[in-house]
């Protein structure tokens, strides 16, 4: 038979290889199509979602859909010269604010701290969810545990995780992983963002833009502290969130955003001789 | 020759298929190994990175590594009774703040707005990068273009992207995609976060925690506005960033974080009758 000639085995071999290649290719295409389909459908549903909405939040209906009545709003109105003076005075006051790492152990009246937290709580928030919890720690034992957790993690951050560059950037402002102020400051305020809420019935309630909202509240909190002559340093301890959350027994929907030691500055407090950008470098008029 | 027997072609065919299968498998493994390697090394280098640091930021050395000298810091210190009074007064003032969508077209002195922006610029920022740009728009033509862009996108957001649930949530506070205040308010302040900076030599400079920093600055800005009797509503227009950035000719490293119409409240301004959580619901004492 001509079929069993000398070249036939090679033809069959080549033919087999071609078939196998096609088969593998078709399998790959099928797989790629499937995974593309998955991407398509998710991007279709949440195409509009930006970074801050990418919580692990279930989208479920809420139960408080009542339309709130509107009420007249007439806040105090100042004459132009008073406005100008108030704007200048407030700028002068806020411009004196500095991040201070040298905090005095002197006691601070609790009521002042309470008013400062109340003030932070006046911040706006996405869909009025008020997604913040301020944990105010004055117990020395708990403060020390917080310090231990933060220093443990910060040392690892500085030594291994952050890379030479960041360590150099922060060296400019003499930050190290030793945070004595966590023991010394009369209060530590740990600000948690609630990444979702719990509606009646135990279902998850979306907290839109929770991180931005809580950060805005922190800005108002800083203003309130400066207004009473107290100091702090805004810190965002890397990787400490879960351990601190466990220590402070916060629920699973809360994530640590900021840790603020609060007190009077120590008598020998110093700050790096930083300058702020002038208005022309931060504002554009159109 | 026995080699060219009747079964040989089939043996060769099977053998070829086996070889091709092994070859494809080894190519796949190599590919998987490479991509796994990439993940490993990136997770090794930036394992500590949290959401806010996941910018599209190149990590490159900076040139301003000088150690800044420290200077003494002694801010004003108030007696306890004055502190208490100041904390109460500031709380009362800030508690009067509401998000207002009914803004008067009356002119507002430019110098007041400048002082408000200066005040926002006193905010702390990660590694003192001051990663904010405040674009203050008073030109009616540009304001109208902004309104058109925002309403275009917001209508799509409301109708298609946001889903029934969010629309219901916002219905409570009577938000719709018609934003008359964008034409009416004497100023629109568009707050951009600089996701990275440009160091000397044109290299990218990391802006750590830029979104949190700019949000904190917005909190201080809100306090400064309230302090002079002006109103705003914090808005974070979805999907408008790129078009507004192009309109305002902001560079590629800037992304829109917030859009704030600023002015006096209109004489007939109303606000939804919302309550704020009491201290006990937002603070935990330890």
Any chain B CB within 8 A of the CB of A117? Answer: yes
Q: Alpha carbon of B154 to those of A49, A213, A265, B146, B254: distances in Å?
A: 13, 20, 47, 12, 21
Per-window interface: B 215-234 vs A, CB < 8 A: 215-224, 226-229, 231, 233-234
Per-residue DSSP letter, A76: -
Can you name the residues that pair with B259 across neighbouring β-strands? B190, B235
Q: What is the mean pLDDT of chain A?
A: 81
Give B104's contacts in chain A (Cβ within 8 Å).
none
The nearest CA of chain B is from the CA of A149 a distance in Å of 15
> pLDDT 10s digit of each residue in chain B, 286 long?
454 556 666 777 677 767 766 776 666 655 554 444 333 333 333 333 333 332 222 233 333 434 688 999 998 999 999 999 999 999 999 999 999 999 999 999 999 999 999 999 999 998 888 999 999 999 999 999 999 999 888 777 766 766 666 666 666 555 566 788 999 999 999 999 999 988 878 888 888 899 999 999 999 999 999 999 999 999 987 788 999 999 999 999 999 999 999 999 999 999 999 999 999 999 999 9
Q: Could you give the CA distance from residue B46 to residue B43 in angstroms, rounded to a whole number?
A: 5
Task: State the best of A51, A94, A205, A255 to mutate against chain B, taking most chain B CBs within 10 Å.
Answer: A94
Counting every residue written for chain B, the total comes to 286
**Homologous superfamily of B97-268:** NADH Oxidase (3.40.109.10)
What pLDDT, on a 0 to 100 scale, did the predictor assign at position A64? 43
Any chain A CB within 8 A of the CB of B142? Answer: yes
pLDDT tens profile A271-286: 999 999 999 999 999 9
Say yes or no for a CB contact (<8 Å) between B138 and A285. Answer: yes
Tokens of A188: 């530590």
Query: Which residue has better confidence, A179 or B193?
Result: B193
Pick the CATH number of A80-267 from 3.60.110.10, 3.40.109.10, 3.30.365.10, 3.30.1960.10: 3.40.109.10
Q: Is the pLDDT of residue A161 over 90?
A: no
The complex scores an ipTM of: 0.76
Per-window interface: A 54-113 vs B, CB < 8 A: 54, 59-62, 64-78, 80, 83-84, 86-88, 90-91, 94-100, 102, 109, 111-112
Any chain B CB within 8 A of the CB of A167? Answer: no
Q: Is the pLDDT of residue A235 over 50?
A: yes
Counting every residue written for chain A, the total comes to 286
The nearest CA of chain A is from the CA of B135 a distance in Å of 5
From the number of C-beta atoms within 10 Å of its C-beta (0-12, 13-18, 19+), residue B166 rates as: buried
Q: Could you give the CA distance from residue A155 to residue B100 in angstroms, rounded to a whole number?
A: 46
Give B193's contacts in chain A (Cβ within 8 Å).
none
The nearest CA of chain B is from the CA of A201 a distance in Å of 17
From the number of C-beta atoms within 10 Å of its C-beta (0-12, 13-18, 19+), residue B68 rates as: middle
Query: Which residue has better confidence, A267 or A50?
Result: A267
Q: Could you give the CA distance from residue B257 to residue A150 in angstroms, rounded to a whole number?
A: 30
The answer to whether the beta carbons of residues A161 and B53 sit under 8 Å apart is no
Say yes or no for a CB contact (<8 Å) between B172 and A264. Answer: no
pLDDT tens profile B196-237: 988 878 888 888 899 999 999 999 999 999 999 999 999 987
Give A226's contacts in chain B (Cβ within 8 Å).
75
């Amino acid at each position: 038979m001509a079929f069993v000639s000398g070249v036939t085995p090679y033809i069959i071999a080549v033919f087999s290889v071609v078939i196998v290649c096609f088969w593998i290719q078709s399998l790959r295409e099928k797989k790629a199509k499937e995974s593309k389909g998955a991407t398509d459908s998710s991007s279709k549903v949440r195409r509009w979602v930006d970074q801050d909405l990418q919580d692990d939040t279930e989208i479920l209906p809420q139960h408080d859909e009542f339309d709130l009545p509107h009420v007249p709003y007439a806040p105090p109105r100042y004459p132009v010269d008073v406005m100008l003076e108030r704007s200048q005075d407030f700028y002068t006051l806020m411009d004196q604010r500095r991040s201070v790492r040298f905090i005095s152990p002197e006691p601070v009246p609790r009521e002042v701290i309470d008013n400062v937290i109340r003030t932070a709580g006046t911040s706006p928030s996405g869909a009025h969810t008020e997604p913040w919890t301020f944990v105010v720690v004055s117990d020395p034992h708990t403060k020390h545990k917080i310090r231990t957790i933060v220093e443990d993690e910060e040392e690892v951050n500085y030594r291994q995780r952050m890379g030479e560059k960041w360590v150099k950037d922060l060296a400019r402002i003499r930050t190290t992983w030793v945070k004595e102020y966590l023991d010394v400051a009369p209060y530590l305020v740990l600000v948690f963002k609630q990444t979702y809420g719990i509606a009646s019935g135990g279902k998850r309630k979306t907290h839109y833009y929770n991180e931005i909202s809580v950060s805005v509240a922190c800005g108002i909190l800083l203003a309130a502290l400066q207004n009473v002559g107290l100091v702090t340093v805004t810190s965002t301890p890397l990787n400490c969130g879960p351990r601190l959350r466990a220590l402070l027994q916060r629920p699973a929907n809360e994530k640590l955003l900021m840790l603020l030691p609060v007190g009077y500055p120590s008598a020998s407090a110093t700050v790096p001789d930083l300058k702020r950008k002038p208005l022309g470098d931060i504002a554009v008029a159109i």
